[in-house]
Amino acid sequence: MPDQPEPFSAPLRHHPHPAPGPGDWDVVVVGGGHAGVEAALAAVRLGARTAIVSFRRELFGEMSCNPAIGGLGKGQIVKEIDALGGIMGRVADATGIQFRMLNTRKGAAVRAPRCQSDRHRYREEVCRLMEACAGLDIFEGEAASLLTEVRAGTPWVCGVRLKDGQELRGRSVILTTGTFLRSIMHQGDEISVGGRIGERSATELAKDLERFQLAIGRLKTGTPARLVADSIRWSELEEQAGDEFPLPFSWATPRDKFPALPSQPCHITYTNEAAHEIIRANLHRAPMYTGAIQGVGPRYCPAVEDKVTRFADRAQHQLFLEPEGLDTDWIYANGISTSLPKEVQEAFVHVIPGLEKARFYRHGYAVEYDFVQPSQLDDTLAVRKVPGLYLAGQINGTSGYEEAAAQGLMAGANAALWTSERAPFVLARHEAYIGVMIDDLVVTNPTEPYRMFTSRAEYRLLLRQDNADSRLLELGYGIGLVGEDQYADYRARKGRLEAARKLFDSTRSGQKTWTELLRRPEVTVRSDAAMEKALAGFCLSAEEIDRVETDIKYEGYVKNQLEDVERARRQEGIEIPPDFDLAGLKGLGEEARQKIMELRPRTLGAAGRIDGVRPPDVALLSVFLERHRRAEAEAR
């Protein structure tokens, strides 16, 4: 692992680009997972000549772990991807086999859609969209190294060399390598090379990255066993059905043809003390505890051996049995991710209710892999010290399909904008969960895989899953990410919602308008016959009616939160110059000073979000920055 590099300079924004050769691309994407797919398609939508290289083209969009899209915090991201023209929501709608809205008993700000997916249909639909994408060139192979040119003493990335010697020259490169960088798999004391069962490791590319002196970390993820459906005693398990009237992720999905596939139930069971005892008795054979695994796993999705150890007082842990598709009898055992030996896995599974005679298609295993510390990126996901290089997905220390896809979309858009010398596309924390995630990443060095939660968003009242289109679609349309059809559909929907709102503002019942009445917690549109009848004339869908009601009920809270945004915006406008001398500042807390010097945040607001930087540190830094600004002005 290379030493921590020197502090980085300010983000590189606009650079003159040499004229491309006839065989060059504007953007070359490495990796065909959820990040790579969205990156390539976003770049194409912005008019960039784009190439993508992956080990196997038939595995675009492969669901390496659980066959599901969305969830708390994650569902909001999928809606945002859709509002920016991405495909994840549309593919999920077309291939989902169960849809649920989570947190329906809580406020609208924390509700989130989730779907169980047909793993094979999902992958096949992504492959179809990739193959049909005009302007996208697809290559199979292993990226072994980055092509570079030195300009003014700085290495610029200008393409990728494949292991077979073929060169793909590009004006920018996006690495979306997932869990494949120098990856190894663990199952008991068995260790094999690869980032997924049956696939290779990107070892040569990992070694090549060392020459850029990037700070590299090591993380771990895991996956549970896959069981045979007819070996499970379903009658003993609790059934979990989907919503009776499910809602799709994408506004582009025809409501009269949704859901496209028949709904399938999931089932719930629980571990027990007998299973825990077997696990505890075999901890000495678990790679996590023998020291074989050096990488840190996700705290919020721990391996079952970690659950049993960390939560020793709990008598049971919930386990979801999720079907992997309509045409397969593989069952994903969500909740018992493990890297214990095969025979130990079988022993503890066979004492879990309903699984006494379960047969295994595949045992669980762990993957350990390299990632690049994301504090070395700017807010466009470009590597600050290596012009032309962008990173997206698990290579940035994140976990999850949704987080990866969102990063891919943003990296693809920004790489395309950069090569055409257009302004970058950056989302603020109050605009999107995507903005929260990227802002979190670039001011930290993760010690565990980053996962999105609603609790990470301080402005989550603004970032509801139902208003993603209002927040983002016009921004996406403005730069070219969103097409004319999607924009026209949005404009029509926006017109209906505005007309309905005017009706509520102008119609009275007694001394109060309908808007004032609807602000009362006990009043809903569906509880008032006159309101419901009036809205029928606007041809609003059930989703749109709920949106009108939610907008009205949240209006006061939203106003307060927008005032918070404005206060924070003032700090975001105070930039920290790249040459600003932090070492000599007196009074600044030592931890704050070290963290700020290491991470080099671009603004005062970003400095305040660094773990270990306290409000007094921010206030003092603000004073120093103002003195610096005045001194610079006087010197001029």
**Tens digits of residue pLDDT in 107-151:** 899 999 999 999 999 999 999 999 999 999 999 999 999 999 998
Residue 211 lies in a domain: no
**Winning range, highest mean pLDDT, from 191-205, 377-391, 559-573, 577-591:** 377-391
Cα–Cα distance, 479 to 477 (Å, whole number): 6
| 256 shares its domain with 374 | no
Residue where a domain stops, chosen among 530, 560, 590: 560
Instruction: Tell me the CATH number at 264.
Output: 2.40.30.260
Same domain assignment for residues 374 and 411: yes
107 or 95, greater pLDDT: 95
How confident is the model at residue 2, as a pLDDT? Answer: 30
- What's the average model confidence in pLDDT over 197-226? 92
- Predicted pLDDT of residue 300: 66
Q: What is the rounded average pLDDT of the residues 377-395?
A: 96
Is the domain of 466 the same as that of 354? Answer: no
401 shares its domain with 349? no
Which of 14-18, 348-352, 536-540, 544-548 reaches the highest mean pLDDT?
A: 348-352
**Cα dihedral: 159, 32, 138, 37 (round 10):** -100
Residue 628 has pLDDT above 90, yes or no: no
CATH code, domain carrying 455:
3.50.50.60
554, β-bridge pairs: none
**What is the DSSP secondary structure assignment for residue 170, as one 8-state letter?**
B
Instruction: Give pLDDT tens digits for 261-292.
Output: 999 999 999 999 999 999 999 999 998 888 88
What average pLDDT does range 247-269 have in this prediction?
Answer: 96
Q: What is the spatial distance between Cα 452 and Cα 427, in angstroms, rounded to a whole number?
A: 16
| Residue 184 placed within a domain | no
pLDDT at 154 (0 to 100): 87
Mean pLDDT of all residues in 142-162? 93
Task: Read off the tokens for 244.
Answer: 């009776």
Residues 506, 391 share a domain: no
For the segment 487-505, what is each residue's pLDDT rounded down to a tens digit?
Answer: 999 999 999 999 999 999 9
Closest CA to 225 of 344, 370, 94, 401: 344
**36-50, 365-379, 597-611: lowest mean pLDDT where?**
597-611
**Mean pLDDT value of segment 384-400:** 95
Percent of the chain with pLDDT over 70: 96
In angstroms, the CA 372 to CA 416 distance is 22
Q: Which band of pLDDT confidence, cut at 50, 70 and 90, is reported for residue 10? A: very low
- Count Cβ atoms below 10 Å from residue 509 Cβ, excluding itself: 12
End-to-end CA distance of the chain: 44
Q: For the chain, give the percent of residues with pLDDT over 90.
A: 72
Task: Classify residue 520: in a domain, yes or no.
Answer: yes
Residues 300 and 382 in one domain: no
In angstroms, rounded to a whole number, what is the distance separating the alpha carbons of residues 447 and 294? 12
Q: Are residues 498 and 442 in the same domain?
A: no
Domain that holds residue 69: 27-179+369-478
Q: Is residue 260 in a domain?
A: yes
pLDDT of residue 616: 79
Of 366, 400, 418, the residue that ends a domain is 366
User: Is residue 462 situated within a structural domain?
Assistant: yes
Mean pLDDT across 311-333: 95
Residue 208 confidence class, pLDDT cut points 50, 70, 90: very high
Q: What is the pLDDT of residues 510-532, one digit of tens each?
A: 899 999 999 999 999 989 899 98
Q: Are residues 163 and 75 in the same domain?
A: yes
Write down the pTM of the prediction: 0.90
Q: What is the mean pLDDT of residues 350-368?
A: 96
* Region of poorest pLDDT, from 51-60, 183-192, 421-430: 183-192
What is the reported pLDDT for 23? Answer: 55
**Per-residue pLDDT at 14 exceeds 50:** no
Burial per residue of 251-282, b for 16 or more beta-carbon CB atoms within 10 angstroms, e otherwise: bbbeeeebbebebbbbbebbbeeebbebbeeb
Number of domains into which the chain is organized: 4
Each residue's pLDDT tens digit, 23-65? 589 999 999 999 999 999 999 999 999 999 999 999 999 999 9
Give the max Cα distance, the chain: 80
Query: Residue 546's domain is classified under what CATH number?
Result: 1.10.10.1800
Question: In 3-state terms, what secondary structure has residue 574?
Answer: coil
Q: Within this chain, do residues 401 and 434 fall inside the same structural domain, yes or no?
A: yes
pLDDT digits (tens, 9 = 90+) for 573-586: 788 888 888 777 77
Q: Which residues of 165-191 are buried (b: 16+ CB within 10 A; e: fewer)?
A: eeebbbbbbbbbbbbbbbbbbbbbeee
CA–CA gap between residue 32 and residue 179 (Å, rounded):
12
Query: Are residues 39 and 166 located together in one domain of the fold?
Result: yes
Asked if residue 45 and residue 172 are part of one domain, the reply reads yes
Contact 595, 613 (CB under 8 A): yes
pLDDT value at position 391?
98
CA-to-CA distance for 577 and 582, rounded, in angstroms? Answer: 10
State residue 604's pLDDT score. 86
| Sign of the dihedral defined by the CA atoms of residues 433, 435, 436, 437, in that order | positive
The answer to whether residue 203 is domain-embedded is no
Q: Does pLDDT of 20 surpass 60? A: no
pLDDT reported for residue 241: 96
Answer whether residue 208 is part of any domain: no
What pLDDT, on a 0 to 100 scale, did the predictor assign at position 176? Answer: 98
Structural domain contains residue 10: no
Does the pLDDT value for residue 15 go beyond 60? no
Assess whether 540 and 589 both reside in one domain.
no
Averaged pLDDT score across all residues of the chain: 91
Q: Which pLDDT does position 1 carry in this prediction?
A: 30
Q: How is residue 578 written in tokens? A: 């790249």
Q: Which strands form 238-240's sheet, in the order they lie side by side?
A: 238-240, 266-270, 318-323, 330-334, 226-228, 360-362
Q: Tell me: pLDDT of 548 over 60.
A: yes
Residue 11 has pLDDT above 60, yes or no: no
pLDDT (0 to 100) of residue 5: 29
- How high is the pLDDT of residue 177? 96
End of a domain among 503, 535, 560? 560
